[in-house]
């Protein structure tokens, strides 16, 4: 019979899986470790991605993230889960894109055609892009437009990001080094070794395992929401690893953990509240189909503001307890936190430490 858990227990288990309750030590080395543990960190907003890693890596500086991405190349910035930009482990890119790339390429086929990138013209544009990067990369977006125009491909408006996304989801292109504040793009094969693709069934099982390691307790619906897989494929991956799972129950809802995580169920209570300031596009906030355990309906619209945007959130023991923002003036960094309700002294102590650390991180990055 499945063990019954309270909502508080589920939230604390999830913060542990997300490495929010015990940030990794050794900030420079921890970047690749934490990205691998989470499978990926959404990175369309690199400032938010850095803050997400800060909450999980003690003493992190932005330079550590860029060193992992550009010098060590243990992580790569490219399109992955949900068809959005992520930092993902370099060694996992081959099988992740082999599994997820075709889904998002197919999903955006109609929009690409509207932008002048139907199947035939899209192939020509990708070939021109790869030729330009092979000869002259790394290139910024503006440089790419100029270079492919010289090869007979005219890109206007949203055709630029759609072409880059198409080539990236095919595993051909990824982000390269920054040029000032501008991203550049490179041929994936020139930049990293992405590792091999895997048979689809094997990749589904692998993704289900990796997802649960980072998000348990969870259900197949959560995997589908986080990854962009169909629910049918998420359930297929789940079924392949059924012998490695432990079922628990919260209310009338069935959730699962990995067997190796089952020892967490009898861990002693956390002595102090787990207080974290996490950014918009936070992994923990995007990782579940049913987010009611994180945010009650009263506050959900304050955080999930529409159009795929998320506010920055104060988490207390895995529950959304407020929103926050950082404002920089010439001399100071002001971190403003608006709790949904008054917080007690223990939370206030943890919050003060988080505010100080966010200020440290932002001061370093700017």
pLDDT for 297 = 84
* SS3 at position 15: helix
> Token pair for residue 229?
């897989």
Contact 226, 214 (CB under 8 A): no
pLDDT for 299 = 86
pLDDT for 315 = 97
pLDDT for 332 = 86
* SS3 at position 58: coil
Kindly report, residue by residue over 149-196, the tens digit of the pLDDT: 999 989 989 999 999 999 999 999 999 999 998 999 999 999 999 999
Contact 223, 238 (CB under 8 A): yes
- Rounded to whole angstroms, the Cα distance separating 303 from 285 reads 9
* Residue 3 C-beta-side C-alpha neighbours within 13 Å: 16
Residue 366 confidence (pLDDT) above 60:
no
- Find, among 55, 40, 3, the residue nearest to 318 by Cα: 55
Confidence category of residue 310, pLDDT binned at 50, 70, 90: confident
Q: Average the pLDDT over 288-304 and give the result.
A: 89
Q: Average the pLDDT over 43-71 and give the result.
A: 94
Q: Average the pLDDT over 224-237 and give the result.
A: 98
What is the overall mean pLDDT for the chain? 94
Kindly report, residue by residue over 114-123, the tens digit of the pLDDT: 999 999 999 9
Burial annotation 288-315 (CB, 10 A radius, 16+ → b, else e): beebebbbeeebeeebbeeeeebbbbbb
Describe the chain by its helix, strand, coil percentages, rounded to 5: 50, 20, 30
Number of neighbouring beta carbons within 10 Å of residue 146? 14
pLDDT for 108 = 95
> Domains along the chain?
3-19+200-266 (1.10.10), 275-365 (no CATH)
> Token pair for residue 258?
């990995």
- Rounded to whole angstroms, the Cα distance separating 87 from 65 reads 10
- Rounded to whole angstroms, the Cα distance separating 203 from 140 reads 32
Q: Average the pLDDT over 304-330 and give the result.
A: 88
Q: Average the pLDDT over 227-233 and give the result.
A: 98
Contact 59, 161 (CB under 8 A): no
Residue 301 confidence (pLDDT) above 90:
no
pLDDT for 364 = 74
Confidence category of residue 365, pLDDT binned at 50, 70, 90: low
Q: Average the pLDDT over 12-38 and give the result.
A: 92
Residues of the chain above pLDDT 70, percent = 99
* SS3 at position 256: strand
Contact 226, 286 (CB under 8 A): yes
Is residue 86 classed exposed, middle or buried when 0-12, 13-18 and 19+ CB atoms within 10 A define those classes? buried
Kindly report, residue by residue over 252-276, the tens digit of the pLDDT: 999 999 999 999 998 887 788 999 9
Residue 249 confidence (pLDDT) above 60:
yes
Which of 59-63, 247-251, 308-312 is least confident? 308-312
């Amino acid at each position: 019979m499945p063990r019954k858990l309270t909502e508080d227990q589920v939230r604390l288990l999830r913060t542990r899986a997300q490495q929010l309750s015990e940030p990794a030590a050794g900030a420079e080395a921890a970047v690749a470790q934490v990205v691998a543990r989470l499978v990926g960190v959404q990175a369309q907003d690199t400032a938010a991605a850095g803050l997400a890693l800060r909450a999980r890596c003690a003493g992190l500086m932005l330079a550590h993230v860029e060193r992992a991405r550009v010098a060590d190349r243990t992580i790569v910035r490219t399109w992955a889960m949900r068809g959005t930009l992520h930092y993902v482990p370099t060694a996992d890119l081959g099988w992740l894109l082999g599994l997820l790339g075709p889904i998002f390429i197919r999903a955006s086929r109609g929009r690409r055609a509207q932008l002048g990138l139907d199947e035939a013209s899209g192939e020509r544009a990708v070939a021109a892009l790869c030729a330009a990067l092979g000869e002259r990369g790394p290139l910024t977006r503006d440089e790419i437009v100029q270079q492919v125009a010289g090869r007979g491909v005219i890109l206007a408006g949203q055709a630029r990001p759609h072409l880059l996304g198409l080539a990236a989801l095919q595993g051909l292109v990824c982000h390269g080094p920054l040029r000032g504040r501008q991203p550049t793009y490179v041929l994936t094969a020139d930049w990293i070794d992405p590792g091999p693709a895997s048979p689809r069934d094997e990749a589904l099982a692998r993704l289900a395992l990796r997802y649960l390691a980072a998000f348990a307790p969870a259900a197949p619906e959560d995997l589908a929401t986080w990854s962009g897989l169909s629910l049918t494929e998420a359930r297929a991956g789940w079924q392949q690893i059924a012998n490695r799972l432990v079922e628990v129950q919260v209310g009338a809802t069935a959730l699962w953990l990995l067997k190796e995580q089952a020892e967490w169920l009898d861990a002693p209570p956390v002595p102090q509240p787990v207080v974290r300031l996490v950014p918009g596009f936070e992994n923990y906030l995007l990782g579940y189909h049913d987010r009611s355990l994180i945010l009650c309906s009263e506050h959900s619209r304050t955080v999930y503001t529409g159009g795929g945007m998320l506010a920055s959130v104060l988490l207390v023991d895995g529950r959304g307890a407020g929103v926050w923002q950082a404002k920089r003036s010439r001399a100071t960094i002001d971190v403003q936190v608006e709790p949904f309700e008054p917080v007690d002294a223990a939370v206030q102590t943890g919050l003060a430490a988080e505010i100080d650390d966010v200020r440290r991180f932002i001061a370093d990055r700017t």
